[in-house]
Amino acid sequence: MKKTALLLALLLALSGCQPAAPVEAQNGGSASSAAEESAPASGPADEDSREDPAPQADASYVDAPEPDEPPQTTVGAIELPAEPASSNAGYSVDLLTPAQYDLYYPLNRGGYRQFQTADFFPLGQGGKYAVANRNGRLLTNVEYELGIEGWNSIDGMVPLKKDGKAGAIDAADGSVLVPFEYDDVWCASGSDGSGLYRVQKGDAVEMIDRTGVTRFSMERGDDFTALKKRFVLYKDGMLRFYNQQYSPIANFACDGMEVVSSPRTNEGGRDLIAFDYEGAWGLADSDGKFLTDPVYDEIGYFTGSYAVVTQNGKRGIINDRGKVVVKPEWDDITLYKSSASVCKDNRWGVITDIDSGEPAVKPSYDYIMGFGDYGYACFERNGKFGIMDKEGNEIVPARYDGTLSTSRSLDKGYYILESGDGPFNSGIVDGRGRVIIPTDHYVQPGADGEKLNLVLTPSGKWGFANDRGQFVIDAQFENASPFISGKNVAFVQKDGKICLVNRKGELVLKTVFSDLIGYNPDTMVCAMEYTAADGTVKGCLVKVNLPA
């Protein structure tokens, strides 16, 4: 009965919305009734057709000022050689700061450090930090503690602390976005240039805009997220939806919420909310419109336009309009970008046309992975792995002890073979069974159309292999990063010095610097470290100039 009442109440809510201030929640166990100035009785328009004025521009799009004069040299600075680099014609470096800073390594959660990209640079002295923008201009004095891991801002904001109080500045021009008076500061959850910040003093949590106005208040147990065109607040058992002017547009009663799709985390996906009502889950869009009733045991995160749902212990798939496209009749489902692996009685098949709901390959394998580049997927049979196409034809028989994957960085018919969980566990093989690079290497495929793949050898040296696994730049570097998009050069470390290598394997720039902690691939401003003869290490900002 309660679910029926909820659904009836929701129909009323969709013709109106809750009145007044978003910072206060109304008590009640069902969706709100229509307000006098409510939307038409037909309910909210589709989210793609409703146009709200855009919010204030994301800080990351503000023009970043260029450096002017270098900062003054301080005590403890290291004198650099008169010639900080030797280079081919057209390549050079400009020193933007003295070598006088401590450059910290952001937390590395596994994998190889290589050279990180950055859109701001924290420069340390005596345990405090200054911040420089992506052009290398110093934005602040050395007086802050860092409030973020890594060197990339969050929607253009850099959380910091000063005298024990948290605030935030603009990563481009250094303007204060949030005053330094809070216990904690972060972007609003799910924020995508919304201009809202989550601030906390004691137990009080608020969402404030860039003028300091409180738009939403929260207490323990509340939840908030900023969607592409909407704000969603769960408070006092009510799920409330607001437009970009912070006006309420819909609400309904429920026991909890989860953002299961957003363009930020699900490429090409819509903003979608799963809501819990008495232990059953339903799906709503960003206008608060029900796409499914609360009838599922679980709604998973969307991959593209689809999500796995569980009903009565069986799994199926719904699309982003709430339609069931694969009936809940499977023991397990793994959803991939363009296919779904389905399991019954411990045997796996695959659905390649998800809208059809029918498996192209009946459950008969130990497992079938997702279809990737060239329309191939890895399958497992009797503990061995091979490759199949979308019709189920076995292109590569099950002969390998490790999983196979395709990549656009490799030619068709060449595969990355992974075997084991150690640091050196991947290689390159072809469809005829030839081993091009043994699996005691580490292969990092090129991204976004890049055909040169980074390869780390067991000797600890990096090189670059082409799309058929042949080394075109010998493994000779202590460290390396992929080729920079559009620039045809890559940063490498050779003989303890940072260099640039071109696609021919030529070192076109050799610097005196011992390490590259971070760089901006657009501006080519770099945070470099220099090691003096006595072993002292200090960092500075350097701009690398490329041929026009």
What is the number of H-type helices and E-type strands within the chain?
1, 47
Which pLDDT value is given to residue 5? 42
Distance of CA 105 to the CA centre of its chain: 20
Which pLDDT value is given to residue 170? 95
Residue 164 has pLDDT above 70, yes or no: yes
> 158 has which bridge partners?
169
Q: Compute the average pLDDT of residues 201-218.
A: 93
194 and 173 in a single domain? The answer is: yes
Which residues neighbour 179 within 8 Å (Cβ) at sequence distance 6 or greater? 167, 212
Contact 400, 385 (CB under 8 A): yes
92 and 145 in a single domain? The answer is: no
> 154 has which bridge partners?
157
Domain count, the chain: 2
Residue that wins the pLDDT comparison between 48 and 394: 394
Which residues neighbour 382 within 8 Å (Cβ) at sequence distance 6 or greater? 366, 398
Which pLDDT value is given to residue 421? 73
- Asked which of 187, 205, 226 is the last residue of a domain, the reply is 226
**DSSP codes of every residue in 35-104:** PTTPPPTT-PPPTTT--PPPPSPPGGGSPPPPP-SPPPP-TTPBPPPS--EEESTT-EEEE-S-B-BB-P
The percentage of the chain sitting over the pLDDT mark of 70, rounded to a whole number, equals: 87
Q: What angle do CA 257, 262, 266 make, to 5 degrees?
A: 125
**Tens of pLDDT, residues 279-296:** 999 999 999 999 999 999
Question: For residue 174, which phi and psi values (nearest 5 degrees)?
Answer: 85, 0
Residue 534 lies in a domain: yes
Residue 389 lies in a domain: no
Contact 506, 89 (CB under 8 A): no
Order of strands, sheet of 394-400, starting from the edge strand that comes earlier in the sequence:
367-368, 376-381, 384-389, 394-400
The 10 Å CB-count burial string (b at 16+, else e) for 496-534 is ebbbbbbeeeebbbbbbbebbbbbbbebbbbbbbbbeee
Q: Compute the average pLDDT of residues 234-243.
A: 97
221 and 128 in a single domain? The answer is: yes
Q: Compute the average pLDDT of residues 368-378.
A: 95
Which pLDDT value is given to residue 50? 40
Contact 530, 540 (CB under 8 A): yes
Residue 376 lies in a domain: no
Mean pLDDT of the chain: 88
Residue 52 has pLDDT above 80, yes or no: no
The percentage of the chain sitting over the pLDDT mark of 90, rounded to a whole number, equals: 78
Contact 444, 457 (CB under 8 A): no
155 and 218 in a single domain? The answer is: yes
497 and 543 in a single domain? The answer is: yes
Report which secondary-structure segment, H or E, holds 531: strand 525-531
Strands 116-117 and 515-519, sheet pairing: parallel
- CA dist., res. 501 & res. 508, Å (int): 6
CB half-sphere exposure, 167, CA atoms < 13 A: 18
Which residues neighbour 50 within 8 Å (Cβ) at sequence distance 6 or greater? 44, 229, 287
Q: Place 231 in a pLDDT band, splitting at 50, 70 and 90.
A: very high
Q: What's the token pair of residue 70?
A: 């270098």
Which pLDDT value is given to residue 46? 43
144 and 104 in a single domain? The answer is: no
Contact 166, 185 (CB under 8 A): yes
Residue 420 lies in a domain: no
171 and 102 in a single domain? The answer is: no
Q: Compute the average pLDDT of residues 495-514.
A: 98
Residue 276 lies in a domain: no
Of 13-27, 80-94, 412-426, give the lowest mean pLDDT range: 13-27
Residue 349 lies in a domain: no
- Asked which of 226, 241, 264 is the last residue of a domain, the reply is 226
99 and 152 in a single domain? The answer is: no
Strands 435-444 and 453-456, sheet pairing: antiparallel
Amino acid found at 308:
V
Query: Would you call 389 exposed, middle or buried from its count of C-beta atoms within 10 A (0-12, 13-18, 19+)?
Result: middle
- CA dist., res. 459 & res. 474, Å (int): 13
Contact 394, 384 (CB under 8 A): no
Residue 9 has pLDDT above 60, yes or no: no
- Give the three-state DSSP class for 354: helix
Q: Place 63 in a pLDDT band, splitting at 50, 70 and 90.
A: confident
Amino acid found at 185:
V
Instruction: Count the residues in the chain.
Output: 548
Residue that wins the pLDDT comparison between 24 and 378: 378
Q: Quick one: DSSP state of residue 317?
A: E
Which pLDDT value is given to residue 110? 62
Domain that holds residue 134: 121-226
**Tens of pLDDT, residues 336-363:** 999 999 999 999 999 999 999 999 999 9
216 and 137 in a single domain? The answer is: yes
**Tens of pLDDT, residues 68-103:** 889 999 999 999 999 999 999 999 999 999 999 999
- Give the three-state DSSP class for 533: coil
Which pLDDT value is given to residue 463? 99
Which pLDDT value is given to residue 189? 62
Of 49-53, 268-272, 521-525, give the lowest mean pLDDT range: 49-53
Contact 32, 15 (CB under 8 A): no
Residue that wins the pLDDT comparison between 15 and 512: 512
**Tens of pLDDT, residues 116-156:** 999 999 999 999 999 999 999 999 999 999 998 889 999 89
Q: What's the token pair of residue 183?
A: 């216990």
- Asked which of 226, 250, 276 is the last residue of a domain, the reply is 226
Could you tell me which of 194, 193, 166 has the C-alpha nearest to residue 178? 166
Residue 499 has pLDDT above 70, yes or no: yes
- CA dist., res. 162 & res. 141, Å (int): 11
Q: What's the token pair of residue 190?
A: 């799910």
Q: Place 31 in a pLDDT band, splitting at 50, 70 and 90.
A: very low
Residue 19 has pLDDT above 70, yes or no: no
Residue 308 lies in a domain: no
Q: Place 33 in a pLDDT band, splitting at 50, 70 and 90.
A: very low
Which residues neighbour 221 within 8 Å (Cβ) at sequence distance 6 or greater? none
Report which secondary-structure segment, H or E, holds 7: helix 2-13
Which pLDDT value is given to residue 449? 86
Could you tell me which of 407, 409, 404, 406 has the C-alpha nearest to residue 466? 409
103 and 173 in a single domain? The answer is: no
Distance of CA 346 to the CA centre of its chain: 33
Question: For residue 6, which phi and psi values (nearest 5 degrees)?
Answer: -60, -45
Q: What angle do CA 463, 469, 475 make, to 5 degrees?
A: 15
Q: Place 193 in a pLDDT band, splitting at 50, 70 and 90.
A: low
**Tens of pLDDT, residues 452-462:** 999 999 999 99
Q: Place 199 in a pLDDT band, splitting at 50, 70 and 90.
A: very high
Amino acid found at 283:
L
Q: Place 21 in a pLDDT band, splitting at 50, 70 and 90.
A: very low
Residue 30 lies in a domain: no
95 and 135 in a single domain? The answer is: no
Which residues neighbour 521 within 8 Å (Cβ) at sequence distance 6 or greater? 117, 484, 485, 487
163 and 181 in a single domain? The answer is: yes
Residue that wins the pLDDT comparison between 373 and 61: 373
